[in-house]
Structure 1
């Protein structure tokens, strides 16, 4: 049986082929340029053919090098996937990241999931950030908000953002009820962002102009604005997909029928590689079904 080339030399070939420069490859591999050159020469000697053409301004792959490169890439991808899958099996819980604004929808469903599937626990990390970088963050999956998911990840659409004003029943029963959109001028507006854009979007769609739009209270998160609204201290904008529980319990009421889509949406995402574990796929399918269920969002 022919002896296989050493794995470190194949890895050095892979990195060198990606940048076609011994100096840059040495920096990436934390080796000296001479060590990289010797490993490539030793690999070429072992294989019996040249992998690179040495040129004055750098390197270029030979026909044999170009043919070998995608196969070596596939080998190392398989190794990465195997290591990740074995490591994932050793973790006791699925690691999930989500922005605080989606907690009203997500947290009750994760509690239901844990009650039904205690054998597949989930550890949730909340953040004010709307995205995730799986290259730097060790999460199995994430719920993100935006207009378009990033690359190198599998994305499942959960629901679109639709804004509508919400307040407490106490405010509705007070001396200045909200019987028309014009009544908003006599109430404190609670802003979930610093730029007033959410209210501007809704008021524009409603055909309403307010002279002192930014004179209300501003908050760093949607959750804070909704909490203050529930206490009867103003009118906030709620995302229709996220406030179902608040409306069902009477904690909040929606005085108007108009729901304005913003173009933003919520997605469940996980890395393309490695392939999701059976547990993650099951949780993903369950959350997607919940999001697409009208009764679950009402």
Structure 2
């Protein structure tokens, strides 16, 4: 009987085949690129044929690799099914959420853990605003956008409401910020590469003059809020996500207008039924959202 390939090597093959890139596979596996390359080479040597074509722009599966992939996927699917059926799912809830919602979510999850240590949550953060439960092994995920499609358990957290914010010192500084026209004299801070949020709010506010002043773009909401709190300029942000900054006085709202975008943040779980612990967490978060 021929020796079976080691399971870790098959898992490395599966992840590498998913990315067709040693570097990205190494990042997901939390090992070095060299370790991935060596495991694949050892597996190919044991099998007696190559699984990948090494190309200038990355990897491609050979014919044998394409034949192997669905079989390896089936093996790991059976193992996962066995773990769930024989041992039951882990008591720890696996939750995914975009980094921008951490300001709102993390304090509430810490409160939840204090109240319900019997239902622990392991949180994975990402820059993505969506989730693919067919490929990602999370119990639930916070997503941003329109109302999610049917077929999922959905817990609405809050609607997106845009409003400008700045350091309190900016209101009565050398260039006072008291009326809409004063925005033309201040740097506008954008929490993303596009300027859609500011444009949407200015249109709702009825601004009919061109803002030709300086502007700065950031990769994340946190970066934009940090710069705004230092008095650098006026940022646009989601009212719910910056509530702690407003309550602490680090930031203030120079104008009362909050503009609904039609989008929001939702905690979703695949399927029509969820485990009791997750159902309790979803209900608790929804109640906390309604209570502020």
Please give the secondary structure, in 1, of the residue aligned with 2:96.
strand
- Tell me the alpha carbon deviations over residues 245-269 of structure 1, each in whole angstroms, 9 at most, x when there is no partner: 1111111111111111111111110
| Structure 1 CA distance for aligned equivalents of residues 179 and 271 of structure 2 | 48
Gaps of 5+ in 2: 1-66, 72-77
From the superposition, tell whether residues 254 and 29 of structure 1 become closer, same or farther in structure 2 (CA, over 3 Å). closer
Q: Is 2:183–2:211's contact at 8 Å kept on the other side of the alignment?
A: no
Gaps of 5+ in 1: 1-26, 32-78
Q: Match of 1:285? A: 283
From the superposition, tell whether residues 214 and 115 of structure 1 become closer, same or farther in structure 2 (CA, over 3 Å). farther
| Structure 2 CA distance for aligned equivalents of residues 182 and 208 of structure 1 | 8
| Structure 1 CA distance for aligned equivalents of residues 285 and 125 of structure 2 | 17
Please give the secondary structure, in 1, of the residue aligned with 2:198.
helix
Q: Match of 1:20? A: none
From the superposition, tell whether residues 168 and 86 of structure 1 become closer, same or farther in structure 2 (CA, over 3 Å). farther
Q: Is 1:192–1:222's contact at 8 Å kept on the other side of the alignment?
A: yes
Cα shift at 1:80: 11
Q: Give TM-score, length-normalised by structure 2.
A: 0.68
Q: Match of 1:71? A: none
Q: Give TM-score, length-normalised by structure 1.
A: 0.67
Q: Is 1:100–1:223's contact at 8 Å kept on the other side of the alignment?
A: no
Please give the secondary structure, in 2, of the residue aligned with 1:129.
coil
From the superposition, tell whether residues 90 and 258 of structure 1 become closer, same or farther in structure 2 (CA, over 3 Å). same
Q: RMSD in angstroms over aligned alpha carbons?
A: 2.7
Q: Match of 1:249? A: 248
Cα shift at 1:214: 7.8
Q: Match of 1:217? A: 216
* Superposition pairs of residues 109-258 of structure 1, within 5 angstroms: 109-212=108-211, 215-258=214-257
| Structure 2 CA distance for aligned equivalents of residues 114 and 255 of structure 1 | 36
- Tell me the alpha carbon deviations over residues 191-238 of structure 1, each in whole angstroms, 9 at most, x when there is no partner: 012220100000001111453458411012222211211121111112
- Tell me the alpha carbon deviations over residues 91-148 of structure 1, each in whole angstroms, 9 at most, x when there is no partner: 2521111111111111110111111112221111111111111111111111110013
Q: Is 2:186–2:213's contact at 8 Å kept on the other side of the alignment?
A: no
From the superposition, tell whether residues 285 and 185 of structure 1 become closer, same or farther in structure 2 (CA, over 3 Å). same
More displaced stretch, 170-179 vs 252-261: 170-179
| Structure 2 CA distance for aligned equivalents of residues 258 and 150 of structure 1 | 30
From the superposition, tell whether residues 140 and 30 of structure 1 become closer, same or farther in structure 2 (CA, over 3 Å). closer
From the superposition, tell whether residues 188 and 133 of structure 1 become closer, same or farther in structure 2 (CA, over 3 Å). same
Structure with greater Cα Rg: 1
| Structure 2 CA distance for aligned equivalents of residues 141 and 179 of structure 1 | 43
* Superposition pairs of residues 255-274 of structure 1, within 5 angstroms: 255-272=254-271
Cα shift at 1:156: 2.0
Aligned residues: 220
| Structure 2 CA distance for aligned equivalents of residues 142 and 120 of structure 1 | 16
| Structure 1 CA distance for aligned equivalents of residues 149 and 83 of structure 2 | 21
More displaced stretch, 83-92 vs 146-155: 83-92
From the superposition, tell whether residues 234 and 87 of structure 1 become closer, same or farther in structure 2 (CA, over 3 Å). farther
